[in-house]
Amino acid sequence: MSSFKISDSVYSVGILNPNMRIFDIVMSTAYGTSYNSYIVKGSNKIALIEVSHASYFDSYLDNIKEVCNPEDINYIVLNHCEPDHSGALADILKVCPNAEVVVSTAGSLYLKNITNRTDYRTIIAKDGDTIDLGEKTLKFINAPFLHWPDSMFTYCEEEKVLFSCDMFGSHYCEPYVLDSRIAYPSGYEEAFLGYYNAIFAPFKKFVVAGMSKIKNLDIDTICTSHGPVLTKGNRLEYALEKYAEWSVLVKNEVTTIPIFYCSAYGCTEKCAYAIADGIKSVIENACVEVLDINAKDASTLASKINSCDGFAIGSPTLNADAVAPVSNLLNCIDAINCKKKPALAFGSYGWSGEAVPNLIAKMNTLKLNVFEDGFKFQFVPSETDLKNAFEVGKRFAEMFNS
Ligand code: FEO
pLDDT of residue 303: 85
Task: State the closest ligand 1 atom to the C-alpha of 226, by its place in the atom list counted from 1.
Answer: 1
Residue 1 has pLDDT above 70, yes or no: no
pLDDT digits (tens, 9 = 90+) for 290-322: 999 999 988 789 889 999 999 999 999 999 999
Q: Please state, in angstroms and rounded to a whole number, the distance separating the CA atoms of residues 371 and 109.
A: 38
pLDDT of amino acid 27: 78
Kindly state the DSSP code that residue 160 receives in the 8-state scheme.
Answer: T
CA of 380 to the centre of ligand 1 (A): 48
Ligand 1 centre to CA of 80 (Å) is: 7
pLDDT of residue 22: 85
151 Cα to the center of ligand 1, angstroms: 9
Q: Closest residue (by CA) to atom 2 of ligand 1? A: 82
CA distance 13 to 6: 10
What is the average pLDDT across 322-327?
Answer: 96
Q: Are the C-beta atoms of residues 236 and 247 closer than 8 Å to each other?
A: no
Cis peptide before 147 (omega within 30 of 0): yes
pTM of the complete model? 0.86
Question: What mean pLDDT do residues 18-44 have?
Answer: 90
For residue 213, the CA-to-ligand 1 centroid distance in Å is: 20
pLDDT of residue 116: 86
Which pLDDT tens digit goes with each residue over 224-234? 999 999 999 99
Mean pLDDT of 2-29: 90
Ligand 1 atom at minimal distance to the Cα of residue 83:
3
**Ligand 1 atom closest to residue 225's alpha carbon, by position in its atom list:** 1
Ligand 1 centre to CA of 251 (Å) is 29
Exposure b/e, 246-267, CB count within 10 A at least 16 = b: ebeeeeeeebbbbbbbbbeeeb
**How many whole angstroms from 23 Cα to the centroid of ligand 1?**
10
What is the residue with the minimal CA distance to atom 3 of ligand 1?
82
β-bridge mates for residue 256, sequence order = 287
Residues framing ligand 1 (Cβ under 6 A):
80, 82, 84-85, 147, 166, 225-226
Q: Whose CA is nearest to atom 1 of ligand 1?
A: 166
H-run or E-run covering 314: strand 311-314
337 close to 306: Cβ distance less than 8 angstroms: yes
DSSP string, 24-83: TTTEE-TB-EEE--EEEE-SS-EEEE----GGGHHHHHHHHHHHS-GGG--EEE-S--SH
Closest by CA to 50, choosing from 68, 38, 66, 62, is 38
